[in-house]
Chains A and B, each alone.
Chain A
């Protein structure tokens, strides 16, 4: 699959009064048309900052992209002018945020906000844009779209608001959608509705989808491949089934093991010891070593690159890589 988006060795840092926080430290990933990449990580892992750098909506200052490339349909977005970038954003790539209530403008009707997309990007008249807005609301299955187009965001429920966010992202039929924790704020039953809708629309338009989340369950349901991030780096990539079955990085295994499971009720939950690192003082060597059950001397001194992960006999495992000196042991531990 030719990559729709390719991020190469991206570095982002935040220069603050207290020092420099290295939020993203050499992230590379790609996503093809019709493909879903899940980026999994805890708070502070750099998963959202990477997405903001791709979209070009990084708060700057204090954020600065200090290196790397963001190739979108062959063009490096980081070299474009502000105006060119703005034209790509919305029309070619769009973003869905976690909190729909604070992402929508409370003093404009949803119809006006949806229509604005067409007025600004396609120069449509207000009237035509309104018709388009109703169409979009129908498409994301908001009941009685015609009557509700003049309602304000607060008059919708959480699930409906998230549908409006999705409608807005879809408005100009982009090639890539980045969804940052799209269902985290929603209830379980509504979450299922919204994820289904998103997956269906993605198929219909063969869009690339980057799904940013901390929820291992949501990922398992929709993603093709996963990139696990820790301290601003990718520590493991794998096709979704293989990651759950045979993780090659101790951090991934720790995350999987800390989910309560039926067969372990009554026992202590596995807990990764310690805390995620401070981004202003990332530990030397492997950033995970202070919390890692496998850590040896080499982990303190040498930073592990993303090793290609293979079977014991050297058979290639396509799409798999792990940033651990002992990926072989971890893989064989399953």
Chain B
């Protein structure tokens, strides 16, 4: 592997800063007098930075709040509390014209290319629709040409401009979704499971496309997925979410080769490795039970109900997402933020990259 590939490429200033972001969905009872009886804590005080040109991967199982986080970043959901700063400016409470201007720069690519494209609109209308809202980007007479350019950029035949979504395969539809995301020349694209619905051979094509576009247009990505190997491939840094919080965050090497949070360790060990020989030397941590309900999360550390290391302290104190005390004087990739009272590095033989040759 070339050495520069291991280094986090972008060193630029943060383009997006997220501080203590939370989203609570109220639970109500009754029809006429809707009493509030509790709340689903979908995202609960999440903080991170996204730097210019960087890809931040976010992994987690269903219900961990990763999609809610994505929706808040593009203002499809209003945060209950916390702040989102875009280039240093607080955009959390913006509305009207100011919000519209910011939204142009933060776009989204959705998971399901079958339901996120309107079946009654032609590809040209779908990709060109953002221009109706932001006419300053492309003057009216120029739009068709712009749309064709975009189709060409994402690897679709520009002559398909008058076709409908059903005439395309899943991978091609995802390209249409990406073209729409690119239309307004955004700086940040939030990708929510962009390749999960695609076949393996087509997945690789779309991942390559996203990487090429990043280099070409200097985009920053927040890349949300549950496929750990795809996330590692594309990300500079990775955050692991569990029940609405980050369990651990660091560079891809820190997270994948030197995880210190028990949840990350279990998650990585559970991933099926497509190489029967690597599998045999590997110890697997199989977690008991399911993810608890976010309406009633465990006290203290949220992972403690499934954790084999849990002690009394874990029920009482919420572990902070900082460099754990035990590693404060250590050096090397084990030193990164991990929200665990008893964070430990893996024994060396287990931390060997499982699929390396």
- Give A244-265 as 1s and 0s: 1 = Cβ < 8 Å from B's Cβ atoms: 1100000000111011111111
Does the CB pair A266–B2 fall under 8 Å?
yes
CA distance A258 to B171 in the complex (A): 15
Query: Which residues of the partner chain A approach B356 to less than 8 Å between Cβ atoms?
Result: 261-263
Of B2, B200, B228, B229, the residue contacting A261 (CB under 8 A) is: B229
Query: Which residues of the partner chain A approach B6 to less than 8 Å between Cβ atoms?
Result: 265-266
Given A220-B276, A275-B171, residue A266 in contact with residue B5 (CB < 8 A): yes
Nearest residue in A to B59 (C-beta to C-beta)?
A188
Does the CB pair A263–B204 fall under 8 Å?
no
Nearest residue in B to A192 (C-beta to C-beta)?
B270
Does the CB pair B272–A215 fall under 8 Å?
yes
Nearest residue in A to B286 (C-beta to C-beta)?
A192
Does the CB pair B273–A220 fall under 8 Å?
yes
Nearest residue in B to A240 (C-beta to C-beta)?
B276
Does the CB pair A191–B270 fall under 8 Å?
yes
Nearest residue in B to A42 (C-beta to C-beta)?
B199
Query: Which residues of the partner chain B approach A241 to less than 8 Å between Cβ atoms?
Result: 276-277
Interface assignment of A296: CB less than 8 Å from any CB of chain B = no
Does the CB pair A42–B232 fall under 8 Å?
no
Nearest residue in B to A255 (C-beta to C-beta)?
B200
Interface assignment of B29: CB less than 8 Å from any CB of chain A = no
Does the CB pair B286–A261 fall under 8 Å?
no
Interface assignment of B96: CB less than 8 Å from any CB of chain A = no
Query: Which residues of the partner chain A approach B266 to less than 8 Å between Cβ atoms?
Result: 189
Does the CB pair B272–A218 fall under 8 Å?
yes
Does the CB pair A157–B199 fall under 8 Å?
no
Given A240-B276, A241-B276, residue A270 in contact with residue B204 (CB < 8 A): yes
How far does the Cβ of B101 sit from chain A's closest Cβ, in whole Å?
35
Interface assignment of A43: CB less than 8 Å from any CB of chain B = yes
Interface assignment of B187: CB less than 8 Å from any CB of chain A = no
Query: Which residues of the partner chain A approach B230 to less than 8 Å between Cβ atoms?
Result: 260
Does the CB pair A275–B5 fall under 8 Å?
no
Query: Which residues of the partner chain A approach B284 to less than 8 Å between Cβ atoms?
Result: 192
Does the CB pair B200–A266 fall under 8 Å?
no
Of A157, A244, A255, the residue contacting B201 (CB under 8 A) is: A255
Give the total of B residues in contact with A, Cβ under 8 Å. 50
Does the CB pair B272–A157 fall under 8 Å?
no
Nearest residue in A to B252 (C-beta to C-beta)?
A265
Nearest residue in A to B277 (C-beta to C-beta)?
A241
Query: Which residues of the partner chain B approach A221 to less than 8 Å between Cβ atoms?
Result: 272-273, 276, 279
Query: Which residues of the partner chain B approach A193 to less than 8 Å between Cβ atoms?
Result: 286-287
Does the CB pair B267–A216 fall under 8 Å?
no
Of B200, B252, B271, B279, the residue contacting A258 (CB under 8 A) is: B200
Does the CB pair B286–A268 fall under 8 Å?
no
Interface assignment of B320: CB less than 8 Å from any CB of chain A = no
How far does the Cβ of A320 sit from chain B's closest Cβ, in whole Å?
15
Of A157, A256, A270, the residue contacting B290 (CB under 8 A) is: A157
Does the CB pair A265–B169 fall under 8 Å?
no
Query: Which residues of the partner chain B approach A214 to less than 8 Å between Cβ atoms?
Result: 199-200
CA distance A261 to B232 in the complex (A): 9
Does the CB pair B287–A269 fall under 8 Å?
no
Interface assignment of A276: CB less than 8 Å from any CB of chain B = yes
Interface residues of A in 205-256 (CB under 8 A from B): 214-221, 240-241, 244-245, 254-256
- Give B260-299 as 1s and 0s: 1 = Cβ < 8 Å from A's Cβ atoms: 0000001100111111110100001011001100000000
Query: Which residues of the partner chain B approach A272 to less than 8 Å between Cβ atoms?
Result: 201, 204
Interface assignment of A1: CB less than 8 Å from any CB of chain B = no
Does the CB pair B233–A260 fall under 8 Å?
yes
Interface assignment of B105: CB less than 8 Å from any CB of chain A = no
Interface assignment of B207: CB less than 8 Å from any CB of chain A = yes
Query: Which residues of the partner chain A approach B272 to less than 8 Å between Cβ atoms?
Result: 191-192, 195, 215, 217-218, 220-221
How far does the Cβ of A196 sit from chain B's closest Cβ, in whole Å?
6
Query: Which residues of the partner chain B approach A254 to less than 8 Å between Cβ atoms?
Result: 201
Interface assignment of B211: CB less than 8 Å from any CB of chain A = yes
Interface assignment of B10: CB less than 8 Å from any CB of chain A = no
Interface assignment of B146: CB less than 8 Å from any CB of chain A = no
Interface assignment of B185: CB less than 8 Å from any CB of chain A = no
Interface assignment of A10: CB less than 8 Å from any CB of chain B = no
A-B complex: 5 closest residue pairs judged by Cβ atoms: A266-B5, A217-B272, A260-B233, A187-B61, A258-B204
B residues contacting A by CB (< 8 A) are: 1-2, 4-6, 61-62, 169-172, 199-205, 207-208, 211, 226, 228-230, 232-234, 252, 256, 266-267, 270-277, 279, 284, 286-287, 290-291, 353, 355-357
A-B contact pairs, 8 of them (CB 8 A): A43-B170, A157-B290, A187-B62, A188-B228, A189-B286, A265-B1, A275-B171, A275-B172
Q: 10 additional contacts, CB 8 Å, given A192-B272, A258-B200?
A: A42-B201, A188-B270, A216-B200, A220-B272, A220-B275, A221-B279, A259-B200, A259-B274, A269-B233, A272-B204
